[in-house]
Amino acid sequence: MRPWVRTEALPRVRTWTVSQVWIRTLAVIVAGAIVAGLAFLYLWQGCTITALKAQRAHYVLALAELEREYISLQVQVQEATGPAALRARARALGMCPFTPDRIIRLEDDERPSP
């Protein structure tokens, strides 16, 4: 059987060859691009880490300030609700310590008086 395409009508294609100089040049360019990319990633990572450390330091300082404020507020609450402060507020409202002469006895009270 005869082939459908005639091979003698097709032009002869030359094989593509690359010289050793071009191969070495291409290898050097690729290696340089890889090294440049790695250097960029290294510098970018260093800058990112430095920025994150600065941000962390800012948050640590803010946390320390909030802790100082929290302790100050706790002290104020303890002073406001302490026995001396409650006693002073009670006296300001007209309250005084309990004394036995302030007891009111009712007629049907069965307990003996002191």
What's the confidence (pLDDT) of residue 82? 93
What's the confidence (pLDDT) of residue 94? 87
pLDDT tens digit sequence for 21-75: 999 999 999 999 999 999 999 999 999 999 999 999 999 999 999 999 999 999 9
Rounded CA gap, 96 and 8, in Å?
127
Contact call for residues 82 and 74 (beta carbons, < 8 A): no
What's the confidence (pLDDT) of residue 55? 98
* Res. 109: pLDDT tops 60: yes
Contact call for residues 79 and 85 (beta carbons, < 8 A): yes
More confident of the two residues 38 and 96? 38
What's the confidence (pLDDT) of residue 97? 78
Contacts of residue 79, Cβ cutoff 8 Å, sequence gap at least 6: 85
* Res. 99: pLDDT tops 60: yes
Question: CA 99, 101, 103: angle at the middle one, nearest 5?
Answer: 90
What's the confidence (pLDDT) of residue 28? 97
Per cent of the chain over pLDDT 70 is 84
Contact call for residues 100 and 114 (beta carbons, < 8 A): yes
Which residue type sits at 30?
Answer: V
